[in-house]
Structure formats: structure tokens, C-alpha cells
A and B are shown apart, each in its own frame.
Chain A
Amino acid sequence: MQTAESTLEEILTLAAAHFKVPREKLSPDEDFFKALGIDSLQTLDLLTKLENHFHVELPDYELQGVSDFRTLAARIQARR
């Protein structure tokens, strides 16, 4: 059984690897647009990667207004 914390940790690791950023530079409450230096379209790319990893489908609307890793983890956890 995955916990919210472990989901969050996995997201941070995946995001760091996908955008080639050191893992230790990302923190849960950080704005991922800024931390990763990405725009909204690149964020959608990341989401596709996360969906494949967690085997969930995240409609675009679930991500409206989400900009930090912790909230993103909660949305993914709710669909697992």
C-alpha cells in the first residue's frame, strides 16, 4: 500500500530525473514551474510520465491551480 508520503517522494524523484535536476534541489511545497524551470505545456509532459508510472488517469481539470508537488501527490493518491 502506497502512502501519500511515498507517492510524493516518487514524484520528486521522477520529476528530477525527467527534467535532469538534482533531486535534493526539489522540495514538496515548492512551485514546480519555478523549481523545474518549465512552462505549463512541459508540465503536461511530466503528468503523462506520472500517469504511466502510477497507472492512473489525471484529467487536465484536476491540475487546474495545482503548482506544488505536495498537492499534485494528493491528487494522484486520491485516484490510486
Chain B
Amino acid sequence: MLDLRQYTCLGAALRDALEAFSSEICLIEADRDREKVRLTYSDFKEVARPLARALQDADFDPADRAAIIMTNQPKWLISAYAIFFCGGVLVPLDYKLSPAEHLQLLAHSKAKLLIVEYYLWRTIMQAPDFHKIATKMVLVTEAPLGADLAGAFRWEEFKRKGAPDFVMRQRDDTACIVYSSGTGGRPKGCVLTHENYLEQCRSLTAWYPFWPGVRYLSILPTNHAIDFMVGFIGPFACGACVVHLRTLRPEFVRDAFVRYRITYVSLVPLILKNLERGLRAKFDELPTWKRAPLRAMIATNRLLTRRRPHVKLSRMLLRGVHRGFGGELLALITGGAFMEPSTMQFFYDLGIPVVNGYGLTEAGTALTLNDLKPFRADTVGKPLPGVSLRILNPDEDGVGEVAASSRTVMSHYLDDPELTLETIVDGWLLTGDLGRFDGKGHLQLVGRKKNMIVTEGGKNVYPEDIETAFDGLPVKECSVFAANYLWPRKELGNEILTLVLRLEPTQRFDAKLLEEISTRNRRLPDFKRVGGYLLWDKDFPRTASMKIKRQALAEDIGKSIKREAVASL
């Protein structure tokens, strides 16, 4: 692996990786059972350099911002590298956002350049506010011949001969602006520096190294902090290979494990649970004479891996199971959302360690990680090297807000000094998550202090962001809260959003209103939908500028109404 201490920016580290590992395979792209692309580090360089030259010729200057809206594929990483090579700032946007949200974040980030897949560009072009787009240059990948691109260029044709000029950046220069949420009212653009990424990469690979020959299956969106680090920066700094799948159909994901003999993969709880369901169903279908020995092997493996994993031994004991995962899987990496301990234990007992961690976009990728010494399903692990964690104002159980200090913590929120001051206090990042340390130095998360939910798919959803979906609802006023914010409890998982309705004095809650709410709710992406509603009989407390005093309202509701009063939607 490269010694990252010597670098001041991601561009330089990646540039050297392309030289150091030139003959290794760095990227594979497969669509269903068809392999479409296979690139060595040297091939990667040959594709990226003409793009970087063309960008520079088109006046893409150092510190200019460039957004990427793409699903996981090689052109994502090639584009990101070209942007870093030119000294640019990368703005990775979630491709699952709506076109209106994409336009909003493009405007907020002031991106000069956008690189986008054709089918996403097609929907953005149809958005009502498309004419307001201020992004000067757009490159579209995979556009069909003759397609109307509204003045955008074709990525595949956007290249120039001649060597591009490498632009060096310093450690405290901005590398990326990553939106952790806030498409509704207040976009939260985390400004992350080159130092943040270089240090995060160093600490993660100290515990979980990559090396040439490792194959990482990239399933989580690359715009997400985890995949950006573990599916791009980390493997590239170590000469490993990243496998991209253009479909997430479970049957093709399963095939990819075997075909590419995957070493590591990062998964959100939703996918891991699905895998567990599939495996349990398969085990149940086995005839009794096969099921009993399998159970015995699992019990033996559990006993023998009590203190630490023995991957080779597990592969021998449970050959069939491991073969189904390609036979070379070292670990499943998870994070970004609450994971059921029973699911993690299920995989660990099969000899497939689940590396659970905890992090937030504001802190780079991860603050804690399980070091598997021994495996613990009930914690999110220990602080990574270089990370200091504190529990603020602990109660009698030692539970308080988790605060973090690390060279991986973001510089600030873009154009929001007020929110930055509230979030980073005296050099400590206030995470808004509640946790405690056990006697062994492991962090246990027990709840959230902030008004938000994290879905099983790893999505952060802030109630303020979805209230616009209920604008103009025929009631006196309404607001959305995370149920756990209204009724704090020391528990994670099963998080839902609750719509709080204040009716007009003479109004009754009827079927028509319920239908209106349901219709609006359905228009939201599935992970943003409210799960229930409750009726509130007082006017909402408001500030002088008529903003709802959310905390006061939440406290009042929490005291006056029981959680059970929430009606399901």
C-alpha cells in the first residue's frame, strides 16, 4: 500500500497508485452475467488523462466544483480521478434523489461541471426548474445516438490529446462537498478536506488492509461516504480491484460473489437481512439428514471462533456455505444504519465476520469499527486509530451524546456558519447520537438525540425535508417528527416518521383527509414516507419569524400523548 503520510492530496495519491500498480486489475464492470469492462490501473490512467486534459481546455480550474450523479460504474471513478487531477472539488450527489432535489443541490454547491448518466439527465431535463440550472458544463454518459442532451456533451467524446497538467492541493484544501441530507429546507453540505480522506484511509486500512488481488464488490452508492472510501480511495491506495454491478437484483449479486471471488463487500442492513432470509430458507429446505450435520458444524464453528475469526477453518467446516459466497470472502462490512445483532451473529457463526462500525458523513467515513478481537454483535466497535470519542453529560447508565474529535472530521457545512457552530463545538463534533462505552472500550449506540431517522437502507431522513410534501394540506397546521424524537427511548431500529396534525376548530378528521394524506405520502420515495399520524389539539409554538419551535412542540407532545396514539398510515 502507498504510504499516505507523504501525500498532501487525493489526486497525488491516486496518481501514484496508477503507476505503482499499473498491471493490476483495478476495475470490473458487469451487467447481469455479462462482463462489460475490465481495466488495469494503467488502462484507467489512459482513459482518465484525456478527460482531464479536455476539462482543463474547457476552463475547469483548480478549486472549481464538479458534481457527479451516477450509479456505481467505472466512469464514476474515472471522472472523480480526472476532477482531482485538475485540482477540482468533487460534489458526489445521490442518484436516487428527485430531479428537483438534484437541481437544488447543484445550485447550492455552485457546481461548474456536472457529470451525469443519460437516464438521470433525461429526468433532470424534464424538471420544471430545469431552465434555472446554472451549471456551465454538463457531460452525459451512455447517451443514445441522436438523443437530445440540451447542450450537454457526450462523456465518451469529451477527450483531448496531450498530457494534462497535474494540480497539487494542500491537506486543508477542500476535496469533496458531501450532502448528508437537507434537500428540503436546509442543505447540509459537509466540506471534507484532503486531510480528512487521507487520514480516514490510513486508519481504516490499518485495521482492514487491502492488497493487490483483493476484490471489493461495490454495491452501496459511490456517493455515499462508505463506498467512496472502501470502494474507491482505499482499494486504489492499495492496488486492489473494485467490481461494479449495474444491477442489484439479488440473483446477480449472488452470482457476482462467486464469479469474481469477492473478498470484501459493504452492505446496508436491508440487503444483509435479505441474504440472511435466503440462507435460512435454503437451510430449512434441506432434508433432515443434511440439516442436522450443518447445525453441528455451525455450532462447532461458533465455538472455535469465539475469541477471533479463523476464516480458513470456517471455510473447511462450512464449505458449501462459503462456496456460495465465492469461497474467498473475508468480511461483510456494514454501517450507516442500525443492524440487528442477531443478523450479524448469524453470519459470524457461519464463519463470515460482519464488521460493524459507526460513522457519519460529517466525520469522513467511520469513527468506530469492530476489530473482531473478539467479534461483538452488540456494539459498533472501538474508536479507530486517531479518533477520540467522548460521552457528553452521561446519565446514571453512562449514556450521553457522542462527541468526536479526529483529523477526519469535516471542516464545516458549506455556507452555513450557524449550523457549523452548533455542530462543531471547541473542536468536538456533536453527533446527535446517544451512546455509552462498555468496560472493554466498545461504543454502544442506544438512540438519537436529533430529530431524524436512519432507514434500514442506510438513508438519513430529516423530517423537515419531507414536510413540503404536505404543504397546503387542508388542516390548520402540520409538522413531521421522528417518533423517537417525540418519545425518546434507548433503542435503535424500527424508526418511523410521524405526521402531527392540528385541525381547524370545527374540522373533523375524515376519510377524505386520510385519503389526501395517503396520496401525498405515496408520492414520496418509499424511504421518506411517514409511517403514522396523530392529532394535536393546540396551536404549534412558533418563533417571531413564524418558524415552528420543533423542540418545544416535541417535548409538549411527548409529555401529553402516548406513542400508542399514533395511527398507522
Shortest Cβ distance from B122 into A: residue: A61
- A44 in contact with B522 (CB, 8 Å): no
Chain A interface size band reads 10 to 19
Of B246, B522, B525, which contacts A60 at CB under 8 A? B246
- B522 in contact with A67 (CB, 8 Å): yes
Q: Which of B117, B251, B522 has the most CB of A within 10 A?
A: B522
Of B117, B249, B522, B525, which contacts A47 at CB under 8 A? B249
Q: Which of A34, A40, A42 has the most CB of B within 10 A?
A: A40
A-B contact pairs, 24 of them (CB 8 A): A33-B526, A34-B522, A39-B270, A39-B456, A40-B270, A40-B526, A41-B271, A42-B274, A44-B248, A44-B250, A45-B249, A47-B249, A60-B71, A60-B247, A60-B249, A61-B71, A61-B119, A61-B120, A62-B119, A64-B119, A64-B123, A65-B123, A67-B522, A67-B526
- A31 in contact with B522 (CB, 8 Å): yes
- A64 in contact with B522 (CB, 8 Å): no
For chain A, residues 16 to 75, give those with C-beta under 8 angstroms from any C-beta of chain B: 31, 33-34, 39-42, 44-45, 47-48, 59-62, 64-65, 67
B514: shortest Cβ distance to chain A, in Å? 14
A residues bordering B, Cβ < 8 Å? Answer: 31, 33-34, 39-42, 44-45, 47-48, 59-62, 64-65, 67
The number of A-B residue pairs with CB atoms under 8 Å apart is 43
Q: Report the separation of the CA atoms of residues A64 and B123 in the bound assembly, to the nearest whole angstrom.
A: 10
- A64 in contact with B96 (CB, 8 Å): yes
Query: In this assembly, does B532 line the interface, its C-beta being within 8 Å of a C-beta of chain A?
Result: no
B 251-262 to A, binary, CB cutoff 8 A, 1 in contact else 0: 100000000000
B 112-123 to A, binary, CB cutoff 8 A, 1 in contact else 0: 000001011001
Chain A hits for B250, CB < 8 A: 41, 44-45
Query: In this assembly, does B558 line the interface, its C-beta being within 8 Å of a C-beta of chain A?
Result: no
Q: Report the separation of the CA atoms of residues A42 and B526 in the bound assembly, to the nearest whole angstrom.
A: 13
Chain B hits for A60, CB < 8 A: 71, 246-249
Shortest Cβ distance from A47 into B: residue: B249
- B457 in contact with A40 (CB, 8 Å): yes
Q: Report the separation of the CA atoms of residues A31 and B522 in the bound assembly, to the nearest whole angstrom.
A: 7
Q: Report the separation of the CA atoms of residues A62 and B457 in the bound assembly, to the nearest whole angstrom.
A: 20
- Also in contact, A48 and B251, with CB within 8 A (given A34-B522, A40-B526): yes
Chain A hits for B248, CB < 8 A: 41, 44, 60
For chain B, residues 250 to 308, give those with C-beta under 8 angstroms from any C-beta of chain A: 250-251, 270-271, 274
- Also in contact, A59 and B522, with CB within 8 A (given A40-B270, A40-B457, A41-B271): no
* In the complex, the 4 A-B pairs of residues with the closest C-beta atoms, listed nearest first: A61-B119, A41-B274, A44-B249, A31-B522
B125: shortest Cβ distance to chain A, in Å? 15
Chain A hits for B251, CB < 8 A: 48
B34: shortest Cβ distance to chain A, in Å? 11
B 84-110 to A, binary, CB cutoff 8 A, 1 in contact else 0: 000000000000101000000000000
Chain B hits for A31, CB < 8 A: 522
Chain A hits for B71, CB < 8 A: 60-61
- B247 in contact with A59 (CB, 8 Å): yes
Q: Report the separation of the CA atoms of residues A46 and B248 in the bound assembly, to the nearest whole angstrom.
A: 13
A44: shortest Cβ distance to chain B, in Å? 5
B191: shortest Cβ distance to chain A, in Å? 29
Q: Report the separation of the CA atoms of residues A64 and B274 in the bound assembly, to the nearest whole angstrom.
A: 20
Shortest Cβ distance from B525 into A: residue: A65
- B249 in contact with A59 (CB, 8 Å): no
Shortest Cβ distance from A30 into B: residue: B522
Chain A hits for B119, CB < 8 A: 61-62, 64
For chain B, residues 203 to 253, give those with C-beta under 8 angstroms from any C-beta of chain A: 246-251
- A59 in contact with B525 (CB, 8 Å): no
Q: Report the separation of the CA atoms of residues A4 and B435 in the bound assembly, to the nearest whole angstrom.
A: 54
Chain B hits for A42, CB < 8 A: 274
Chain B hits for A61, CB < 8 A: 71, 117, 119-120
Shortest Cβ distance from B96 into A: residue: A64
B32: shortest Cβ distance to chain A, in Å? 8
